[in-house]
Amino acid sequence: MIIVDNIGKAYGSEIVVDIQQLQINVGETVGLVGNNGAGKTTLFRLLLDLIKADRGQILSKEKNVATSEDWKSYTAAYLDEGFLIGYLTPEEYFYFVGKLNNRSKADVDEFLKTFDAFFDGSILKSGKYIRDLSKGNQFKVGIAACLLQNPEILILDEPFANLDPSTQMRLIKMLKEMQEQKRMTIFISSHDLNHVTDVCSRILLMEKGKIIKDLQKNEETLKELEQYFKV
């Protein structure tokens, strides 16, 4: 579904992404791990055509993401609060996203009922603008808005970082169910090796812009990753 072909990105003399070949298949749940500065977020921004590559191309369903808009109709992503509209309330934002995806207000309301546990009473009817929510609650809004789009591809950058433990567990369960029930292709980055190996069937280890390990998860994957990052 996604092919990364000889993609490169540098800022000045610093190479931040340098990937010769990478293929993400339909229905895979792929985790991207690496230390700060490894190039994970930059790769996601290239996948979403938020920045331009210095060389190479990224294909989504055989269409170049830099020259086609087709991929946007089936791709949803949340990287940071910049993906939200801070001066709207969560409800206003959900209705806005729903309208963009031809979903009625009633349809959006019905969809949001399935997020009662995930929201934990802190999102809807709070009277707050999105910009005034905590980082964790902003992420909850972001992930719900992604799923409201019913995407085939979901990209999440550090989804567990600002969530409390209960919400992390709910998110893990949700991601697993989406992959199993909808064969959604999910691409996430995380510093939490336990969570990423729990959720993902394939792990990519990134260092200095390169994919240095491509692991199909097995019972030894977590130990292998922990050994790599061990100081």
All domains in the chain, ordered by first residue? 2-229 (3.40.50.300)
pLDDT of residue 178: 85
pLDDT of residue 60: 96
- Helix H, strand E, coil C: the string for 104-163 is CHHHHHHHHHCCHHHHCCCCCCCCCCHHHCCHHHHHHHHHHHHHHCCCCEEEEECCCCCC
Low-confidence ranges of the chain (pLDDT < 50): none
pLDDT of residue 1: 85
3-class DSSP state of 18: strand
The gap from C-alpha 183 to its chain's centroid, in whole angstroms, comes to 15
Within 8 A by CB and 6+ apart from 181, the residues are none
pLDDT of residue 231: 57
pLDDT of residue 182: 85
Give the whole-angstrom CA distance, residue 171 versus residue 163: 9
pLDDT of residue 111: 93
3-class DSSP state of 224: helix
Regarding pTM above 0.85, the answer is yes
